[in-house]
Structure 1
């Protein structure tokens, strides 16, 4: 018995794909019908259909068409392993981003259960978007991964500790305590230790954080009353210069 040959419309109906999609796969050389009828009509063979189902299988887990083409062209174990490894990393990044987004939305809803007005919550959301604009997509994924590694309890502890550290440092700054004072140096060590926990030592993230505060510090202070005045930051930077000197 000879193999069945499929016209593009028949194959579209059988697979649930559109004719347009099949034509696109043909144009880019991903899945092309390998035979023609006497009248010149193109027909898909069984081997073409097997290739198409491999394409669909890889597309179902989110692999891009270029990566699929490379995988099928090479046809070896290592190429497929590399493509799947890259896809897993991409999916992991999406999971972290969705988890981070979920945390943000949950925080906004918690504010809505208090006396927060809709305008206040929307202003917070606007500020969150502004903050994220200072980081690249890779940096945002890195920060989401850092939060995942630190865990919710550690993050809450840092959030609780920051106001205490800022208040203690502000008191020293207002009193004119020398920046090489032992207590000031201990606070400085704690201050930059918490920043290090946030950035994980990533120089790009640290640079983006610095740019954010340099350009939007006043706005953030007004909205969140952080206490991070220019005078305090100058004091902290002088204390850190003492802390990090050879």
Structure 2
């Protein structure tokens, strides 16, 4: 199928659900949900019943993701996408996306100015523990880049609802899963190994406790994965494992997701 061909370049190309999820950052679970509600169905099926997505499906997925990023509910997106695809509609969609990205860039520039001001204050010795403080600021910057205000508020509500004891227990379970998974990374265990797939299931069940149910929770999970994929080295600085190990683990988990059986 031309593995070196960039996604979307060949109009005759087809993608399995795992390939589409890995290439676009949309989870397999979300793609299943889109199929169930009639928002995005694979244009073709193999003789054995496996989904195969076409170039038209890819363009539709792009429109879905863009409209979701603009805050539109799935039902409204489904209604909107019921109209025939045309150049004017696509241009309007891209213009709206560009406007949103421009606003995000302006917020990031404002954050840069704020951090610069704090750095100047640190130079006077007015604030204690500058290393820890700057790490916190970097985390805030990352969150601002990957999560909407609504998503950050929902994550905070879920954490508060769990309570400190449950959060501490989750940390302990997380550490155990990391150790086991890093062992598989070091051993180069195939990602479709049943043991690896079971660890992935437990990993995602643990993470799900911190996210809302339904499509909203799937969006925050996807945002968190994108953040780890892009900023894993920086996020790992305060963890007891080497940053390069956590970056490798993030990539390993993504391959394991794409290798789930039955897709």
Which structure shows the bigger proportion of residues in helix conformation?
A: 1
- Greater relative contact order (Cα < 8 A, sep 6+): 2
The TM-score with structure 1 as length reference comes to 0.46
| Greater C-alpha Rg | 1
The TM-score with structure 2 as length reference comes to 0.44
